[in-house]
Amino acid sequence: IDTSDFLARFRKVGTHEKVLLVAAQPFSDIKEIYPQIKNTLDEIKRKVYQSALPGERDLKFLFDKIEADIALDNKNYGKATLILENAIQSHATSINDTLRGLAMLKRAFVKMRNINRAFEIQYMIESRWHRKSDTVHIDYGTPKSTLYGLLGLKTEAIKQRRIEFN
């Protein structure tokens, strides 16, 4: 992304939109400019967590998503899984939030080579996927065929790859 354009948009939009804007970007894309927006985000986060307003719950999920994305980028997968599990349980306000959190959680487990947990998350995603909004794009993460391959189940991996291809 164009980081100068991102910063200009960040400075123009309101509080809620600032959090939405940052949460929508992979941390790796905004890593170099994050120090310039961190204090503003921290101030917004402090206000959100001090407030008991019902409309702030979605922002709590977005802050969790941002924090988990930073942990993933820093290869701190254990921290990311804790943040994401809490986010899904305590702050997800929609099926779309839940699916985003699960996809990130699956990514963390794959990175930790905990393929069994990644499969558990995969099945949780599959059981909920039909309920997601059609207008929302969610990265499904590592394909099931790849998970089978990582477990050394080559026959299953090939069968699943054919299903995914079709």
Does the reported pTM lie above 0.85? yes
- 161 touches 145 (CB < 8 A): yes
Tokens of 8: 């200009």
Q: 53: pLDDT confidence band, cut at 50, 70 and 90?
A: low
Region 111-124: mean pLDDT is: 94
For 55-99, how does the pLDDT look when each residue is reduced to its tens digit (9 = 90+)? 677 899 999 999 999 999 999 999 999 999 999 999 998 999 999
How far are the Cα atoms of 9, 66, 118, 152, 161 from residue 145, in angstroms, in the given order?
39, 28, 12, 11, 5
Q: Which residue, among 133, 58, 137, 73, has the nearest Cα to 103 in the 3D structure?
A: 137
Which amino acid is located at 64 in the chain?
D
Q: How far apart are CA 141 and CA 129, in angstroms?
A: 13
Tokens of 165: 């291809």
- Helix, strand, coil percentages (3-state) for the chain, rounded to 5, are 75, 0, 25
Which residues fall within 8 angstroms of residue 137, CB to CB, at 6 or more apart?
none
